[in-house]
Structure 1
């Protein structure tokens, strides 16, 4: 996640306690100039149950999408908001050891980051919704506009900006990152006379990075929306869930605005929150829905290259987000790939290029005859979306896991899910008990970072969901299962 996105996201989290949760953080400073009053924003529905909706500012404002030439200007009220300053610090550490035959590798790493931001005195601008409703009462949406047609085809939602929070003076964000790592390799050989020969090589890496970002005045850092319900004509109402009217005459709202089972893109979008303080076996019903798809990853001819590519993406949340979005677009087009280089970075393009080498995916690319994407493509998208849903701390802990440790953790989780009873100690994979407890500590930190507690009891080992609500235990299990599947065998 970029420095700017981290700062605005932190600001919104702090504000949600005093508001109704409607504020959306601005993830890129380049979007600020688009977020004017009544700017049109596309709300992209979630593809998987655990995902949050995503918002894409467009280059249009509401009047660009309406029929007729009569223009209207929004009635906007301005008021001082708050003065916001924040200082935060984050420390991380971990290590792992791998041993196979005559080769032994030890890796240790630690890092810290300190962020200081000052948005100064902020301003709040609100559109007078009552005036807007009057201005739009007899106006109709231009259904031939290409943005409207594109959104309708993808079953997304159009919304307009009704409120924004922006800076009033130049301000700045500074972040200091320090990373230290070491690696030692040992090769043991037997000499001709039976003597043991040990060859040792080690190196260390120290990285210090200072980032300073200057933010100009009038930069939008957060906003809220009014969704459009599009029936036979435009409908603007407060608290209305957006969507398009279907052929049956009923509106098809966003999947995120209803608490009931829905199906989108052929995927079951029923959202079942994992219970608090429950054994991992409580996740089985949800996990079993997706694990059949993840099993296909072990059959991919490029699985090892794919593992290395995705494992590297764990270090860069921005890349993960771009990869997930590219895969979502590909899946929504039923497996027909349409490259959009302007919305991707090099790792995202490399991922798509690699998947195009898979015969089962390549054979369907370029033809929209099928109404659903290839199952192998869906499996990769499932894994990447689960990875993206994990918090930064969990992603960091995963980077410290070797392929062997990932497979051992997957085996352990499967055993813990298999019964409500504690797991006997002798059933724990041996690799997790090595290194004087360091690997076990890594395991505990990894699970704890995604709301799973692991504890030893009289009869063995027990794992359960934590005290917080959310899908983190579910997406962690899916991520570990997916990455472990990619580790099986060679390409």
Structure 2
């Protein structure tokens, strides 16, 4: 995630209560000039229910998409908003040790980041919805417009910008990152006469990075939308109430809401997400129903002939959220084409292309022809996409903690979580895999930090250990369990 995107996302998290969750952060400064009042924004829904929609500003405003020549200008009100400044600091550390036969490896890592942003005095601009409704009366959408046709073909949603927050003066964002890591490898050999020879290798890595970003005045940092419910013939309605969603009228004559594709079923964004968002302070067993359904797909990862290479690629991707996002998008496109691979290197980086190249070598994933409308994506491809999408949904701190877990520790954590999920009663201390108790408690601390970063609390009670969801809402416990199960599956067996 870019420095700008992190800053605007943080601003939205602080402001969400005032917008009832409808505020969207701007991820790229380049999009700011497109986000004018009544700008047309394409809402692209995602594949899995825990994924947030993606929003892509277009080069058009609403009147460009309407039939006829009669133009109208939006009635916009402006008002001063808040002055926003923020300073945040994150400190992270971790350690793992692996030992096999006569080889021992110790890895330690720690990092810190400090971000300071000042958006200064912000301005709020709103479209007068009452005036907009009057201007749109008896107007129809041009169904032959290229953007409308492309959006309809991809089952996406059209929306118009009704409100935006923008800067009034030049401002800046600064971020300082420090990373330190060390690795010690020891190889013990026995000589012909029984003499022990020890070879030791040490190396360390230090990375310091300072980033400064200057943001000009009139830069949009957040906005909200009105989705369009589009009927056949071009008639449309504005979705004015919360939890109402746009989309195109289906062949049955009913207006289909915005949707995600899950197991070839169309599911509206307004679905009850209680199955992936358990109640606060609930045992992990509350997630069993949804986890068991998704784990049937993840089991296929253990059968992939390239799983070790895939594991190494994905662990490397944990260090770069931008790469994770590109990989998820590439896999989503591949799944939507039912396994027909169409490489688009211009929209991907090298790790994303490498991932697709690797998967394309798997016979079960290859597809000669077919279309998303007629065929389902190969199950193995769906399994990889499920894992990568779960990884992408995790916060940065969780991704960092995962990079500090060796394959052996990941498998032990997976085993431990399965035991915690298996019972509503506390888990006896002697049930904990031995590897999690090694290194003078460092591995156990890593486990606690990993769980806590995804809203799972692990506590000791009189009868043993208990894990439950934390005090925050959301699906992080689910995607953490899926990520650990998926990565652990890739570690099992030999290629």
TM-score (norm 1): 0.94
Moved over 6 A (4+): 233-239, 256-261, 264-270
Give the aligned length. 491
After TM superposition, list the pairs within 5 Å mapping 1:16-415 onto structure 2: 16-232=16-232, 240-255=244-259, 263=267, 271-364=275-368, 370-415=374-419
| Cα distance between partner residues in 1 of 2:111 and 2:31 | 31
| Cα distance between partner residues in 2 of 1:129 and 1:108 | 56
**What are the Cα deviations for residues 126-184 of structure 1, in whole angstroms up to 9, with x where unaligned?**
11111211111111111122322222223221100111111122111100111111111
Say whether the 8 Å CA contact 1:261–1:271 is kept in structure 2: no
Say whether the 8 Å CA contact 2:335–2:381 is kept in structure 1: yes
Say whether the 8 Å CA contact 1:265–1:332 is kept in structure 2: no
Closer, same or farther in 2 for the Cα pair 1:201/1:378, shift >3 Å? same
Aligned-pair CA distance for 1:371: 2.6
Instruction: Say which is worse superposed, 458-467 or 404-413, in terms of deviation.
Output: 458-467
Say whether the 8 Å CA contact 2:109–2:181 is kept in structure 1: yes
Aligned-pair CA distance for 1:349: 2.0
Aligned-pair CA distance for 1:235: 7.8
Aligned-pair CA distance for 1:60: 1.6
Say whether the 8 Å CA contact 1:39–1:62 is kept in structure 2: yes
Aligned-pair CA distance for 1:203: 1.0
| Cα distance between partner residues in 2 of 1:20 and 1:263 | 22
Structure 2: gaps (5+ residues): none
The partner residue of 2:489 within 475, 485, 489 is 485
| Cα distance between partner residues in 2 of 1:237 and 1:67 | 26
CA RMSD of aligned residues (A): 2.8
| Cα distance between partner residues in 2 of 1:449 and 1:42 | 32
Instruction: Say which is worse superposed, 129-138 or 181-190, in terms of deviation.
Output: 129-138
| Cα distance between partner residues in 1 of 2:101 and 2:373 | 51
Say whether the 8 Å CA contact 2:247–2:256 is kept in structure 1: yes
Say whether the 8 Å CA contact 2:260–2:266 is kept in structure 1: no
Aligned-pair CA distance for 1:77: 1.8
| Cα distance between partner residues in 1 of 2:277 and 2:150 | 32
SS in structure 2 at match of 1:371: coil
State the partner residue of 2:2.
2
SS in structure 2 at match of 1:467: coil
| Cα distance between partner residues in 1 of 2:269 and 2:24 | 25
Instruction: Say which is worse superposed, 305-314 or 18-27, in terms of deviation.
Output: 18-27
**What are the Cα deviations for residues 5-37 of structure 1, in whole angstroms up to 9, with x where unaligned?**
010011111112333322100011111111111
TM-score (norm 2): 0.93
Aligned-pair CA distance for 1:369: 7.2
Structure 1: gaps (5+ residues): none
| Residue 462 (structure 2) pairs with residue 461 (structure 1) | no
| Cα distance between partner residues in 1 of 2:263 and 2:139 | 31
Say whether the 8 Å CA contact 1:262–1:269 is kept in structure 2: no
SS in structure 2 at match of 1:63: helix
Aligned-pair CA distance for 1:258: 16
